[in-house]
Every structure is written in structure tokens, then in C-alpha cells.
Amino acid sequence: MLRREFLLTTAAAAALPAAVDAKTRIGFVRSTHAKLRSPAPLDDGLTYEQVREMVFQAIEYGAPRAGSLDAKIKPGSWVVLKPNIVFLRPHPSYAKGDITDFRVTKAVLEYVATRTKAGRITIAEGGTYRSLKDRAEDNVVTQDGRRVNAFNFDWGHEEFPGFHGSLGGMLDEYRRAVPSKKFDYVDLSYDAVRDAGGKFLRLQVPKAANGVGAFGARPDYFVTNTITKCDFLITIPVMKVHLQSGITACLKNYVGTAPREAYATPGVFHNANLHSGHSAGGRIDPFIVDLASFHPPDYCVVDGIRGLQSQEHSVHRDDQTVRSNVILAGEDPVATDAMVARQLGFQPHDIEFLHMAARRGMGTMEEGLIDVRGDEPDRGNVRWEKPKQWYGRCNREWLIDEGAGKWKAYRAPFDTLDLAEVTKVPAGPQASYKVAVNVQASGHRKGYLWFGLRGHAHVLLNGQPVVSRESDTRFRIGQFQYPIELQPGMNRMEFRVKPRAGQALLSVLITGSRNDGDTVEGIRWL
């Protein structure tokens, strides 16, 4: 999709304000960009100088509303840079493209150190490796016979051409170059907020200005001092495909802010209890947004030099690493992640956590309100491989027939509608339910109706029968798939459902002509 084609569907566009200045800027710079002093092919390995220039140019294009990044960072501020360094070699789940390119992190560090009046600059991350002070022996990394962690792990010369050495060495370099500023590293795995007695303290997700609170299964989280107390936070993720949330970039990077010392289970060192305690609707998206709510990104710089397709960690395939040689930058994490989704071949409206973040007022995912500056986002793209079980975001906007011609609007929190629960009518043998959905199409759209079903369903589209189907087997999204065609404008789909085996479950998704799980372009559920 070309930048000039970043238009909303008819229904969504009608609801938007006319003011052009409401648009949020995203800087988008490829290694081929015409303004670079040393442009390079998209498959080139790049030097630090080339990556640095791309980062600086993207930050210039993606200027925040304050006018520039240096104008937004107040004098004396404590600025935290949060890259993704989840694994160190030779962890079996590590592959090139799994973590933020150290050249990108260094370039952002250099920018903040030399072009802003920040007083303290901290690089902060919590990964699946023990601190040198941790007495546990599992998930320990050794190098040349000595125990190391993210701070002193030596990456050598080949992993990130133009960068060599360690994170600690990088910080030492800038301590010497800019002695007026303080530089340090915080391992977020060991930075949990504690009460007066030293016990881990859970904090409630702060309510947004519009009243929206937590999305997770429980609303109180273990969080870190650094994230909650810093003045300015820059998220520096690597863009990748994610097995559960579809994509990982600016907002998903917050999972690394959850302190492993509080969430890990004995014998392992990952946030197992974060997943088990805060997931909702079978999704991790709720706690992604909840964690970001404690301190939403003040700015975002996305490493699109290389990433992983299929899923977020190594599947031990040589073709999993995909090189794109692109940098994105902007102050709106929702808009930036929406552009990342496009780069990876996803529909932004299929990414659950973007809807949640937009509901909290963290930003916009509507492409008609995003001003992409620099390179055209669609040029030079490759289609990244999605997870095998991927499917887009199902309809959430239901109409429930209450009888006597009355319909009640109901917004489902997740993909699956439990009709007995929503209607309060038990799913007995005599029960019968009638629900409808309205979908706006910007033109003729051919695609496939995916519906999951537990029960018997008769389906109508614009008054015409589509299919009758019965299922008392395991419920799943996309269980049944049928070709359909939507007409321009409003389309109405009705489902008449009878329960089976004491349940009446339904989900509805319309995919495109590839039938690959992505929602068909140009529609909105209303």
C-alpha cells in the first residue's frame, strides 16, 4: 500500500476530524534513501556510520509535536533507552535478528548524548540470563570461561558489522566522550518495586484519562523502578513476527520490563507467571498494553535492519532471518507499530494490542491519520512468513436479537462469543439464538467467511443463505471456511444458532483472497 493510498474505508473516514494537523509523524528511512551520504542496497550488511545516519534521519523525519526529539527531552532529564536483548549467544532460541541491533541502540544513545540536554542516560533491559550477582545456576551465560550477562557479553566484530565489544564498553565510550552526563545500565530483571519491608509490590494499572484501565486477567502488576520513575522513555525494539501477538515492536518490547525476579518460576528465568497470571481470552495482548500503561513510550525507534519471520525466536532455519535495512521513528507507539505491521505483511486492524492501546489513548492505528515521511512504506517490501496458526482479529461488534424486533448491541472482549453467557439464556436443547453483524466494505470484496462454531448455525449474508453447519467437536477459529462476496457499503450477516452439548459458541472473520488468515482489506466491523 502506497503512502498516498493510506486511506480509511468509507465508514471509518466519515468519523474522523477534518484537521490535517492531527496526523502523527513517522520517519521511515531505508538504506537506499536518497538523502543519505552513503546509501546502500537493502541486502547490504551496513556499517555503523550508515546505520547511525539512517537513525538520525528517521528521527528528524519523525519529529514529535514538540518540534524535535531534543526539544521534547527537558534539560536534566533521566532518559531510559529500552532495547530488546532477550537472549545472548549461544542460547538455542537465539538467531540473528532476534535482538535489537547494537548499532541502532548505539546510534540512539549517541543522539541523546550529543543532541539533547538529558542529565542521565540509562540503557535498561531484562533478558533470559542471570545477573552476575544472582546465586542461581540455571540460565547462566559463560564466555571464555567466565560468567557474563548483557552488560559485559562481548559480541565480537561479526554480529553487528561496525560495532564490536560489549554494552558496557559502549557506555564507557560515551562516559569519556560526554563527561557532563551520567551513563549507566539497569538489569530490569532485578529492579522490581518493593514495599517498605522489601517484598515485591504489585501496582494497579493506572487508569487512562478516558477511564480505561487494565485489560489483563488481574489488574495489578510487578513493575520496575526504572520504568516507573524515569522522566523519558525511548523504546528501541527489533521488528519481528510473533507467534502469539502477530508482531513484536514498540509495545511488545514492554514484556522485557516485567521483573523476572518477581515473575520467574523456580529453575527457569523467564516471565512464566506473567503469562499465566495476566493473559486474558487466551491472549498475551492485554498484559502487553497493561505493562506499557505504567510509562507509555515517549519516543520510538524501530530496528528494521533484520528480524525474524515465522515467530519471534529461532526455529533453526537458515531462511528465518529477513533483512530489510529500514529504520522507523516517531512518538506515537500505536502508529509506529501499525506501520511495522504493514512492513511484515499484516493488517494493522488484525493486531489485538493495537486496539487496546488505541482505546487507552496511546495513539492512533488509523492509517489516514499517520503521516509517513521519508521513503514510501510499500517499496522494497517482502512478505514475511506468518505463524502457521495465525488468524486476524475476529468481529467484536455484535447485535443480539432480544425478540419483538429489538436488537441489543454487544461488544465482545475477545474473538469468541459465548451466546449462553451473553444472552443469559441457558444452552439447553430447546434454546435458540439469533445474532447479526454489520460490516462496511469500501467496494466489492471477495473473500472467505471463517467461522468457529459449537452448535448448529444457519448463516445469511444480505438476506441470502450462505451455509448451514453443525459442530459438536473442539471449537476453533476458522473451523469452517466459505467463499463470500461483500457489496460496497453496508453488509449484514445473520447467524441463527442452536446449542450442541450444552454450548453455543461463535466467531466470525472475513479473510482476503489469499485465505491466509488476514482480514480482507477495506472493511470495518460496525
Residues 401 and 369 in one domain: no
Check whether residue 442 and residue 310 sit in a common domain.
Answer: no
Pull the grid cell for residue 309.
519471520
Gyration radius from the chain CA atoms: 24
| pLDDT for 275 beyond 60 | yes
Give the contacts of 346 (CB within 8 A, at least 6 positions apart).
246, 247, 386, 518
**According to the model, what pLDDT value does residue 383 have?**
81
* 332-356 per-position pLDDT tens digit: 999 999 999 999 999 999 999 999 9
Banded model confidence at residue 11, pLDDT cuts 50, 70, 90: very low
**What average pLDDT score do residues 44-63 get?**
97
CATH number of the CATH domain containing 419? 2.60.120.380
The model's pLDDT over 366-393, given as tens digits with 9 standing for 90+, comes to 999 999 999 999 876 778 999 999 999 9
Structurally, how many domains does the chain consist of?
A: 2
Q: Band the pLDDT of 6: cuts 50, 70, 90.
A: very low
Angle at 240 between CA 349 and CA 452, to 5 degrees: 45
Q: What is the mean pLDDT of residues 171-175?
A: 98
Residue 5 reports pLDDT greater than 50: no
Residue 383 has a CB neighbour count (10 Å cut-off) of 11
Q: Residue 21: pLDDT band by 50, 70, 90 thresholds?
A: low
Same structural domain, 401 and 368: no
Determine what percent of the chain is predicted with pLDDT higher than 90: 93
Instruction: Give 353-359 contacts, CB < 8 A, sequence gap 24+.
Output: 353/245, 353/251, 353/252, 353/285, 353/286, 353/288, 353/289, 354/251, 355/393, 356/215, 356/285, 356/286, 356/288, 356/289, 357/251, 357/289, 357/292, 357/333, 358/334, 359/210, 359/212
The DSSP secondary-structure symbol of 323 reads E
Render pLDDT for 67-118 as a digit per residue (tens, 0 to 9). 999 999 999 999 999 999 999 999 999 999 999 999 999 999 999 999 999 9
Mean per-residue pLDDT of the chain? 94
Q: Comparing 379 with 215, which gets the higher pLDDT? A: 215
User: For residue 441, what are the CA distances in angstroms to 11, 157, 450?
Assistant: 8, 52, 17
Residue 117 shares a structural domain with residue 235? yes
Range of the structural domain that residue 363 is part of = 3-16+46-138+146-155+167-374
Give the pLDDT mean for 9-22.
41
Say how far apart CA 67 and CA 335 lie, in whole Å. Answer: 18
Q: Which three cell numbers stand for residue 307?
A: 528480524
Q: How far apart are CA 514 and CA 501, in angstroms?
A: 34
Least confident of 6-20, 193-207, 437-451, 466-480: 6-20
CA dihedral 14, 17, 18, 21 (to 10 degrees): -140
Q: Is 294 in the same domain as 415?
A: no
Select from 343, 374, 405 the last residue of a domain.
374
- 206 part of a folded domain: yes
Structural domain contains residue 25: no
Domain co-membership, 496 together with 352? no
Mean per-residue pLDDT, 240-244: 97
| pLDDT tens string 400-413 | 999 988 999 999 99
